[in-house]
Structure 1
Amino acid sequence: MTGPHTTLVLGATGTTGSRVVSQLVARGHRVKAAGRRATPLDGAQAVAFDWYDSATFEQALSGTDRLYLLPPPGSTAPAATMLPFLHQAQAAGVRRVVLLSSSAIPAGGPATGEVHRALPGLFDEWAVLRPSWFMQNFTGDHMHARSIRDEGTILTATGQGRVAFVDADDIAAVAVHALTDAQAPNTDLIITGPEALSYTDVATILTEVTGRPVTHRQLTYEQMRDRLAQVIPAEFAALLAGMDHAIAGGAEDRTTDTVRRLTGRPPRRFRAHAEESTR
């Protein structure tokens, strides 16, 4: 890819999207920041985008050749909505797409897995980011963060399974590399933090950093599913609880060198993230 480029960032006010926007702008790239409301962001052009309103697609895609792609929030079958949009993006001149998926979902798997499988047939230049669980889940507005604040407890069905939690800033840095590097990435990137921790380990670190007791309460798959179903659709709750069950079996007990290899710096450790978040 040569010449000036414009990147359309979906979910531009979200956890990773906002960071992708700010990092692209800081490097002097042209950015269209898309969300359900066209929210002004420093250095980026705000544009309205709604997955369930195809009338917003044309303006969002106009003049763009790169795309940071997130699925519709909470959808267990996003391909039905995403694939028609991606065909329109291809026709509109988008040449490189970077999809945010999950370490738990392979190509052809559920949810974003179907979109992952379709990307190479639609675009010459593509990457799929498959990060582990976010560190921000414990310090933002996620269910874990709320239960920590309200009850001093993390509730999961992960048992003593371990996860290499990753900082959203590191995910965004990998995304920016995939969007801007001169060589087409055309790859599936597992993104993790530098150490695999159980949720009990996380609770211990949060206790030490904050000075407030935090514990990990272990639930069964069914208990976790039912707890999640109180606030999200039942099908999505079952999917997430199933991911917890997979963690208990060791599915996420791994680390990768993706952040260091592509950004030139080590990924942030969970303790450093917790310390920064409590300052």
Structure 2
Amino acid sequence: MSGDARDRVLVTGATGTTGSRVARRIAEQGHAVTAATRTPGRKTGARDVRFDWYDADTHGPALHGADRAYLVPPVGDPRPVEVVLPFLERARAAGVRRVVLLSSSAIPAGGPGAGQVHELLAGGMFEEWAVLRPSWFMQNFTGRHPHAAGLRAEGVVASATGDGRVAFVDAEDIAAVAVGSLTAPVAPCTDLLVTGPEALSYDEVAAVLHEVTGRPAAHRRLTYEQMRDRLADGGMPREFADVLARMDLAIAEGAEDRVTQTVQRMTGRPPITFRAHAEAALRRGHASP
């Protein structure tokens, strides 16, 4: 890695859906890893440290010795830039030279949420950077997301997406692109739209889950207001629930009906299909419904 003797990658959200995979893959490649999480000690294979976006006292130990960072902004915060910007300033002063941010395909630079952090990176805050903008996760239907919970409880996935299609992407593919962005000799210095290999409607997703698991699975179509209230009633901050419900409306209007070659280009292999993901989740005992 250049002429810098430092070779440590800080992974925030290191026990999360993408962070855990990034930390594992980076360690397997022989790089030193600091796994930053609110719940250290989960045997991530890295140096675990306690990290809380809202506790600045945890930021220094997390940054110690790191020259690159995988950044997962605080989940559910509609204005994450307010805590992420001071952290990035501290990271730059501490010697971090490359930052890879996890954002979303639905959020452009300068947009809400992580879009404000994206704008900082694109504006030159770090010379080496990348912003991952993955489509919606396949794990939403097989993990701990409200969609998966609804499938397990009722055999139903509820959304306001209508007939809109999404090129759902597996978190393993997102992690592979993140690792490439963190370890490549030259940083991408751009945003990377990360999708799966095919765009599917929620009706089609439910049909695949039914075929793979043999259990009931259907798409319940909601209005924007019904979706917002459903998320808020489930404990999500209402402002964030509104943002997610509006993203469903954008999907209904075709905003996510696109497929990119980012995974193929960054990893040399095609992205995982939704059927393959569902079959693997079923083997692990995690597939919904």
TM-score normalised by L of structure 2: 0.95
Q: Does 1:156 align with 2:159?
A: yes
Q: Secondary structure at the match of 1:122?
A: coil
Q: Identify the match of residue 265 of structure 2 among 255, 261, 268.
A: 261
Amino acid in the other structure paired with 2:54: Y
**1:160-213 CA distances to partner (integer Å, 9 max, x unpaired)?**
000000000000000000000001210100000000000000000001001112
Measure the CA separation in 2 of the matches of 1:249 and 1:200. Answer: 16
| Paired residue secondary structure (1:32) | strand
Which residue does the alignment assign to 1:61?
63
Which of 130, 140, 162 is the aligned partner of 2:143? 140
1:122 to 125, 133, 156: 125
Equivalent residue for 1:236? 240
After the TM superposition, which residues 203-214 of structure 1 pair with which residues of structure 2 at under 5 Å, given as runs? 203-214=206-217
Q: How does 1:1-279 map to 2 (within 5 A)?
A: 1-2=1-2, 3-120=5-122, 121-230=124-233, 231-279=235-283
Q: Distance in 2 between matches of 1:130 and 1:104?
A: 8
* Structure 2, unpaired ranges of 5+: 284-289
The one-letter code sitting in structure 2 at the alignment partner of 1:23 is R
| Percent of residue pairs bearing the same amino acid type | 64
Task: Give me the whole-angstrom Cα distance separating, in 2, the residues matched to 1:109 and 1:42.
Answer: 33
Number of aligned residue pairs: 279
SS at match of 1:278: helix
- The 1-side partners of 2:14 and 2:92 are apart by 21
CA deviation string 1:27-48 (max 9, x = no partner): 1111000001322434310111
Q: Secondary structure of 1:229's match?
A: helix
CA deviation profile, 1:45-82 (whole Å, cap 9, x unmatched): 01111111001111110100100001111100100110
Give the distance between the partners of 2:273 and 2:49, measured in 1 at CA: 35
Q: CA deviation at 1:4?
A: 4.5
Shift of 1:122: 1.2
Q: Which moved more, 1:217-226 or 1:33-42?
A: 33-42
One-letter code of the match for 1:81?
A: V
Q: Is the 8 A contact 2:157 2:219 kept in 1?
A: yes
CA contact (8 A) 2:6 2:66 kept: no
Deviation, structure 1 residue 119: 1.0
- Unpaired runs of at least 5, structure 1: none
In structure 2, C-alpha distance between the alignment counterparts of 1:146 and 1:182, rounded to whole Å: 41
Letter of the 2:242 partner, please give it. Answer: A
Q: Which amino acid letter does the alignment assign opposite residue 234 of structure 1?
A: R
Give the aligned residue type for 2:148.
Answer: A
- The letter for the 1-side match of 2:133 is R
What is the rounded CA distance, in whole Å, between the counterparts of 1:71 and 1:22 in structure 2? 19
Kept in 2, the 8 Å contact 1:33–1:41? The answer is no
Q: Indicate if the aligned counterparts of 1:154 and 1:215 stay in contact, CA closer than 8 A.
A: yes
